[in-house]
Amino acid sequence: MKYPKENMANTMTLMQWHAEGKLKPHIHKIVSLEATEVALDEMMHRKVKGKMVVQIS
């Protein structure tokens, strides 16, 4: 890691924002573990806007 101190500061800021509820990630789709291959294909072909969540259950 090139800048460990700066990276740690950035990580701590993100953790604080998360705890305060300031981060609102856009979830594109929630897929099952069995559909992971299709989800990866969509990501590789740039069809995803936001986060792709794999639900394991």
Phi-psi region of 46 (alpha: psi -120 to 50; beta: other; left: phi over 0): left
Question: Whole-prediction pTM value?
Answer: 0.62
Helices (H) and strands (E) in the chain, counts: 2, 2
Distance in angstroms (rounded) separating the CA atoms of residues 23 and 48: 19
- For 16-50, the pLDDT digits (tens) are 999 999 999 999 999 999 999 999 999 999 999 99
What is the pLDDT, as a whole number, of residue 57? Answer: 84
The number of CA neighbours under 13 Å toward the Cβ of 37 is 1
What is the pLDDT, as a whole number, of residue 27? Answer: 97
